[in-house]
A and B are shown apart, each in its own frame.
Chain A
Amino acid sequence: MSSLPRRIIKETQRLMQEPVPGINAIPDENNARYFHVIVTGPNDSPFEGGVFKLELFLPEDYPMSAPKVRFITKIYHPNIDRLGRICLDVLKDKWSPALQIRTILLSIQALLSAPNPDDPLANDVAELWKVNEAEAIRNAREWTQKYAVED
């Protein structure tokens, strides 16, 4: 692999020096383009108390194309599917090279606070979120307890 672009070095440094509250991103020892990410569930959301692991990869043409991000911890969310793939506009057609790892992770955190069942990825989850929000939120809490809380 060619040497690491200045942009990635700078972003990594800043992520380490001034971490965003509730977000932790550490580059892999063997691959500086692969990040181990931890996002804590936002307060006042069904994901509160959970610690969610994600993986983030910067493709060869980053920042011209968006980073690839996926939830590793199972999560009950209308915009995140079984495999942890995320439906988020800034990861797709709204990506701009002026966005950064930090801004993307903030968007993901915001998505946890404000699920958007109108633009669903996991159809069954979105459906329940629409018909019976209380039950959906209960499920999300259960999943958080089951998969995202370490004893």
Chain B
Amino acid sequence: MNSDSEYSDEDHGDSHRSLHSHMSCGNFDSDSEDTCTEILLPESPTRNPDDDFIYKVLSVDQIVQHQRNIIDEVNNVLNLSPQVTRIILNHFKWDKERLFENYFESSPKDFFQRAHVVNPFEQKSDLDSESIVSTSSASQKFCGICFCPCEELKGLGCGHSFCAACWKQYLANKTCSEGLANTIKCPATNCDILVDYVSFLKLADDPEVVERYQQLITNTFVECNILMRWCPAPNCTHAIKAICAEPRAVHCKCGHQFCFACGENWHEPASCSSLKKWLKKCLEDSETSNWIAQNTKQCPKCNVTIEKDGGCNHMVCKNPSCRYDFCWVCLGSWEPHGSSWYSCNRFDEEEAKQARLAQQKYRSSMARYLHYYNRYMNHMQSMKMENKLYANVQAKMDDMQEEMSWIEVQFLRDAVDVLCHCRTTLMYSYVFAFYLMNNNQKIIFEDNQRDMEMATEKISECLEREITVKNLYEVKQKVLDLSHYCQKRRHVLLCHVREGYEKDWWDFIEDPAT
């Protein structure tokens, strides 16, 4: 049973299987973590949320096909040409519902104008029906870019046309140097009609440029789409497509497990925003992060980190799915600044005062931070050591097979797996606790955390020191007991946190420095 066959039947679309079932059918041993917890605690109030989270791992080709499917679905209703539909879908970030809503609520003229495409209902009928590339071939014309006399000039239907060589160079430049794809406009001054897919392929006329264009399109598609995310593992080209944009653990075909909502390693029980703040905080001491803190800000809309590289305070976010216009000084929308840029100055002074105050508070809360940080780092360091443990355990398992069968010694490897799961959970439990305000539920959480930590340390010690080939059956029983107990403690802690998220028990501290 290999993972490929498991995924391939998902591709038929009829048997969506969750991560959970992948894991349990891939494991021989009965005490595989997830199945075990369900048997132990069938009455548990919150189901493991991984159970009903359906997602697919898509290759680049499948993503391209997926785009075509969406275009077809929209065209079943709108009956436009696929390339026009593609531009409109891009405009609405591939949200079909919003597209339909807008289409039926606004006049066709406004609708197409806002999407920067020529209104297909106003186009002359004698144009090539396959594409909206129009050609004007009257006697002899001069191209407005190279000033050369040309027999044939080509355009997008907006009335501006240029020679083939200039188009080719223009599109290559936009795609390869500027990294644009969906937002390439007609080269004419002040014309905002976008170059459509079919026209691009015809006009670019260069396989290398077309390949880059295709990459950029796919990339923008995945990044704009909240139900998709690239696998963050290096050199992995797969993307995950889910049915809802929630923080859940997803497993890519490359083996990497990560959080669907934020792309970081799977971090339960901490929330994505806590983890992001935490990781940023942990980096704050390093030189690089000092530089980042001094020279960058986050886009107020999409949170991408931005470096200011020119004098203007008018910033335009380069993130293709954002493109927000904002003011560098106050981080507000740029729009009102046309008339009141100077008010930013006063705001800045106030902000500086607040920043100084915050810094004082930050110092006084350093002790609290270090408490959580030390424990977090400790589990992380121990995790790294467990890799050595895997090697040791493998050697012991080889020895044991003189007395037991292969299947009977697998308990040892599984125990190390459990230990690693527990270490990860404990690590992130300190991130969770750091941002948690004190209340009764937090006390319960901390009790659970303490129990789990004690259980984890016990199994860690046992695996490191007490595994001997003497009294093998006794040792096995002890390891099994400890590992069951650890899983149970972990399950209790996670269920309690999940229940708390559901029932709003948790109050979070926005910024623990204040």
Contact = CB atoms under 8 A, between A and B. Distances in A.
Interface of A: 5-7, 10-11, 61, 63-65, 81, 85, 87, 93, 96-99, 103, 117-123, 126-127, 130-131
A11 B313 CA distance: 34
Contacts of A64: 169-170, 173
Contacts of B338: 118
A99 B145 CA distance: 8
Contacts, number: 67
Contact of A98 (B169, B188, B341): B188
Interface of B: 144-148, 160, 166, 169-170, 173, 177, 187-191, 310-314, 316, 337-339, 341-342, 345
Contact of A96 (B188, B342, B345): B188
Contacts of B187: 96-98
Contact of A120 (B173, B188, B189, B341): B341
Given A64-B169, A98-B145, A119-B314, A130 B189 contact: no
Nearest to B313: A120
B311 A97 contact: no
Contacts of B316: 93
Contacts of B312: 87, 119-121
Contact of A85 (B166, B191, B311, B345): B311
B179 to A, nearest CB: 13
Contacts of B342: 127, 130-131
Contacts of A85: 311
Q: Which of B147, B160, B337 has the most CB of A within 10 A?
A: B147
A139 to B, nearest CB: 17
Contacts of B144: 98
Nearest to B187: A97
Nearest to A126: B341
A80 to B, nearest CB: 10
Given A96-B189, A97-B170, A98-B187, A63 B145 contact: yes
Nearest to A61: B173
Contacts of A63: 145
30 contacts: A5-B146, A7-B145, A7-B147, A10-B147, A61-B169, A64-B169, A64-B173, A87-B310, A87-B311, A87-B312, A93-B316, A96-B187, A96-B190, A97-B187, A98-B160, A98-B187, A99-B189, A103-B189, A117-B341, A118-B338, A118-B341, A119-B314, A120-B311, A120-B313, A121-B312, A122-B311, A126-B341, A127-B342, A130-B341, A130-B342
